[in-house]
Chain A
């Protein structure tokens, strides 16, 4: 069946370090992937997306890497800040526009 999962449920990093959050997906037909950030008490917020015809996409302090061969997605956050503390979800869009979420990784940034 369709599933998107994350390798680690929690990640703790020092402020200023780079963070890498990983995600595995199983639907090889998916062609659009999104990373969301969810802060406590709020709805998920779009961070960055990538289509399957790309391997890498960069935003402001964030980079998403897509490895279609092993069906792996990662989110890299440069110079992690306390405001980056949140739960991060990867998600894929499957046929019909449905968004399937992974379980989430909680990122904690230590000052």
Chain B
């Protein structure tokens, strides 16, 4: 089944403790992206990647890192999480110029 898989689905962590949210897609998509979704602010892009070893900042990249060592994987790294990064995170992938397929989301709480 064609899908985008994120893990974990839920995560509660403490301020400053590094964490990684994994994202994997099995559709051979070139384009992958991370979004965060917050009430009243909608979906905002954090980082995106147009292919292996090519990443770029989205609209809200501060406090996040990404890597794209393989085409299928696009992990989101929070080196020192803070409470303002409490949010619902979505990974998405697509062929460039096409509609995105989204993962099921990761609900992160930073206390």
Q: Choose from A46, A93, A101, A103 the contact partner of B97 (Cβ within 8 Å).
A: A93
* Smallest CB gap from B104: residue in A: A43
Count A-B contacts at CB 8 Å.
Answer: 51
A59 within 8 A of B: no
A99 within 8 A of B: yes
Per the CB 8 Å criterion, the residue count for chain A at the interface is 20
Judged by DSSP, the binding face of B is: strand
* Smallest CB gap from B45: residue in A: A98
Given contacts A97-B96, A98-B48, A99-B100, contact A43 B90 (CB under 8 A): yes
Q: Which 10 A-B pairs have the closest CB atoms?
A: A43-B102, A101-B43, A97-B96, A103-B42, A34-B99, A44-B102, A46-B99, A43-B104, A97-B31, A43-B105
B interface residues with partner A (beta carbon < 8 Å): 4, 31, 33, 40, 42-43, 45, 48, 50, 58, 90, 92, 94, 96-105
**29 contacting pairs across A/B (C-beta < 8 A):** A42-B105, A43-B90, A43-B103, A43-B104, A43-B105, A44-B43, A44-B90, A44-B102, A45-B102, A46-B99, A46-B100, A46-B101, A89-B43, A93-B99, A96-B50, A96-B96, A97-B96, A97-B98, A98-B33, A98-B48, A99-B33, A99-B45, A99-B94, A99-B99, A101-B42, A101-B43, A103-B40, A103-B42, A104-B42
